[in-house]
């Protein structure tokens, strides 16, 4: 029997030894590239709350250079990518690039800032970034991103008789994020359980999702299963609804606030460097 008001399972497993390794790698990145990491979080399945035992650690960060880097006629490379080492995947964006993406209401960056797993953060900078992110959120851009992601993943991964467990979640998560936006809740959270519990009322569907999560969180990333007909039918129906909806939205009008934040952050960090 379906469980009344079923709560969605979630877990955000971070091995303490891996956390220490991540913090050490972030410090090494600062030294190697002469930057300061302002914010670092988990962005993948561990942040979403449904990691498998063999899931990678997907670390994403925002950093700032010294003032002189921003005064060059030719712009420098604005991403740092570390070669994948075992189960550790780390890369980051320069603050100016992050703010350019924030101005365009980039959903990936908005999710980073809402990650339940934060490895490091400058509290003041992160708080101001979250405030700016809320102001710059575009319902239209966010909605298009999530619906497009759901459609692409559905067509790419859920057409066979056997599918990988995680691919259902890779379609359900953006569909629930689109629902979140349709219901006027603003920028969606990263956590899958929060999305599902806020947007679903069908207890039977919630129970089926929990059964899927229970298996997915116990088996390897590549494990497959025969098609789940109930979930498959729900996804097809939900995609039809999602594609028919036309969200409103406008461009971010906070360019001046973003410029001021960038200048304030860089100059403050420069003062700290000079004082050392």
> 71: helix, coil or strand?
coil
**Contact by Cβ (8 Å): 271, 67:** no
Q: Is the pTM of this model over 0.75?
A: yes
Rounded alpha-carbon distances, angstroms, from residue 175 to 178, 184, 219, 228: 5, 15, 24, 17
Task: Going residue by residue through the chain, which has 276 residues, state the pLDDT in tens, using 9 for 90 and above.
Answer: 344 456 999 999 999 999 999 999 999 999 999 999 999 999 999 999 999 999 999 999 999 999 999 999 998 999 999 998 899 999 999 999 999 999 999 999 999 999 999 999 999 999 999 999 988 999 999 999 999 999 999 999 999 999 999 999 999 999 999 999 999 999 999 999 999 999 999 999 999 999 999 999 999 999 999 999 999 999 999 999 999 999 986 666 688 999 999 999 999 988 877 776
Nearest-angstrom CA–CA distance, 85 and 58: 11
Burial class (CB in 10 A: 0-12, 13-18, 19+), 207: middle
Nearest-angstrom CA–CA distance, 113 and 126: 8
What are 64's strand-pairing partners?
36
What is the sign of the dihedral through the CA atoms of 70, 137, 254 and 270?
A: negative
Task: Tell me the three-class secondary structure of 191-237, residue by residue.
Answer: CHHHHHHHHCCCHHHHHHHHHHHHHHCCCCCCCEEECCHHHHHHHHH
Cα-to-chain-centroid distance, residue 193: 14
Beta strands in 125-201 (DSSP E): 162-164
């Amino acid at each position: 029997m379906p469980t009344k008001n079923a709560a969605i399972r979630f877990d955000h497993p971070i091995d303490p030894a891996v956390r220490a390794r991540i913090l050490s790698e972030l410090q090494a990145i600062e030294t190697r590239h002469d930057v300061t990491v302002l914010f670092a979080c988990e962005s993948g399945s561990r942040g979403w709350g449904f990691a498998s035992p063999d899931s990678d650690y997907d670390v994403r960060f925002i950093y700032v250079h010294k003032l002189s880097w921003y005064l060059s006629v030719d712009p420098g490379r604005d991403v740092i990518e570390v070669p994948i080492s075992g189960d550790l995947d780390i890369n980051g964006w320069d603050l100016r690039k992050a703010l350019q993406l924030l101005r365009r209401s980039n959903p990936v960056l908005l999710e980073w800032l809402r990650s339940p797993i934060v490895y490091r953060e400058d509290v003041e900078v992160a708080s101001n970034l979250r405030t700016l992110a809320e102001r710059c959120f575009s319902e239209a851009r966010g909605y298009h991103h999530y619906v497009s992601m759901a459609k692409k993943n559905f067509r790419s991964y859920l057409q066979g008789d056997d599918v990988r467990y995680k691919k259902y979640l890779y379609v359900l998560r953006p569909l629930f994020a689109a629902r979140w936006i349709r219901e006027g809740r603003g920028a969606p959270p990263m956590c899958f359980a929060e999305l599902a519990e806020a947007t679903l009322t069908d207890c039977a569907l919630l129970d089926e999702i929990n059964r899927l999560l229970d298996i997915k969180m116990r088996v390897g990333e590549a494990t497959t299963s025969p098609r789940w007909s109930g979930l498959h039918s729900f996804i097809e129906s939900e995609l039809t609804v999602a594609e028919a909806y036309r969200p409103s939205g406008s461009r971010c009008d906070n360019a001046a606030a973003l410029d001021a934040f960038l200048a304030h952050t860089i100059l403050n960090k420069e003062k700290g460097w000079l004082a050392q």
